[in-house]
Amino acid sequence: MMNESYHLPVLLEQSVDLLHLQPGGTYVDVTFGGGGHTREILQKLEGGRLIAFDRDPDAEANLPSDSRIDFVPRDFQFFDDVWQKRQFGPVDGILADLGVSSHQFDTAERGFSFRFDAPLDMRMNPREGKSAADVLQEYEELALANLFRDLGEIPNSRKVARLIVDRRKQAPIKTTSELERVIEPCINPKRKSKYLAQVYQALRIEVNGEMASLQALLEASLKWLKPGGRLVVISYHSLEDRMVKRFMKTGNLAGIEIKDQVFGHSLSPFEQVTRRAIQADEEEILRNPRSRSARLRAVQKK
């Protein structure tokens, strides 16, 4: 059974169909979460093998009892390292459903949502690394301003950083409600939810190193996909989607298109499977509002 209370998978059928599953193939779900995509893949495989990643200790409780699955309790940033050490070999498809699970958003003490008054944690693995509260306490003012500008796309990021630094001279900012009170002068009441979402997005991406993880995954996919193998990615904000789109088009993180010098043909290692990003339809958005921002893209390795 799919654990929908943990996470309702987004664009489930579309994403798994884009993997173009081969009987007996080897596939990777780098964002296991509630196991929805993994179970859908296993149902359609005849034999084969599936390797699932998730750094959140809570996710492991959702593992199905199936001998075809190997679970790796790590961030997919370490994909290449895991593959070399465990000698999994080339794969037929990689699926990444980026972002935060419903379980993480809805568990107040994890600190991912401004809907709750809770500790500012935001770590996908709460046993490792700095929390959001640590970032707010330790980063210099300019680093905070750049973080909110670059990762949250917040126009008045310098003012936000100044308010945080001024407040922490008196006492650390430890909870979601404290943070909201501190930055309240920066918030337009008419777009409060959107603004707070941008602030939380910036902190979460920084705390979890999400952009670095995505970069590492994309580079590893080019190395470990078989010819004809597919990379399928669901992203949820423009920073992720731009990186995925550029990489899928060019085969490099810089997004530089390399062409044949004689004929001018693209030398990208990928063929486009989706010409445009696939989005959730109205029915899915009604069922799962978090699918509204999802963008699904897929390529096939030449």
Model pLDDT for residues 260-276, shown as the tens digit of each residue: 877 878 899 999 999 99
Q: Is the pLDDT of residue 102 over 90?
A: no
pLDDT for position 207: 97
Mean pLDDT of the chain: 94
Q: Is the pLDDT of residue 224 over 60?
A: yes
Rg of the chain taking only CA atoms, in angstroms:
20
pLDDT for position 109: 87
pLDDT for position 6: 65
pLDDT-above-70 percentage for the chain? 98
pLDDT for position 262: 77
Residue range 169-190: average pLDDT? 96
Does 80 share its domain with 70? yes
Does 174 share its domain with 36? no
Nearest alpha carbon to residue 43 among 60, 62, 63, 68: 68
What domain range is 157 assigned to?
108-208
Q: Is the pLDDT of residue 4 over 80?
A: no
Domain boundary among 208, 223, 246: 208
**Strand duo 49-53 + 69-72: pairing:** parallel
pTM across the whole model? 0.94
Does 135 share its domain with 162? yes
Q: How far is CA 302 from CA 166, 222, 248, 254, in A?
A: 54, 10, 12, 20
Confidence of residue 259 (pLDDT cuts 50, 70, 90): confident
Does 117 share its domain with 244? no
* Residue 91 is assigned to a structural domain of this protein: yes
Does 95 share its domain with 227? yes
pLDDT for position 5: 54
Q: What are phi and psi of 100, to 5 degrees?
A: -110, 140
pLDDT for position 247: 98
C-alpha triplet 270, 274, 280: angle, nearest 5°: 140
Contact assessment for residue 98 and residue 54, using Cβ atoms and an 8 Å cutoff? no
Domain CATH code at residue 236: 3.40.50.150
Does 201 share its domain with 228? no
Residue range 20-44: average pLDDT? 95
pLDDT for position 23: 87
Q: Is the pLDDT of residue 163 over 80?
A: yes
Q: How far apart are CA 200 and CA 193, in angstroms?
A: 10
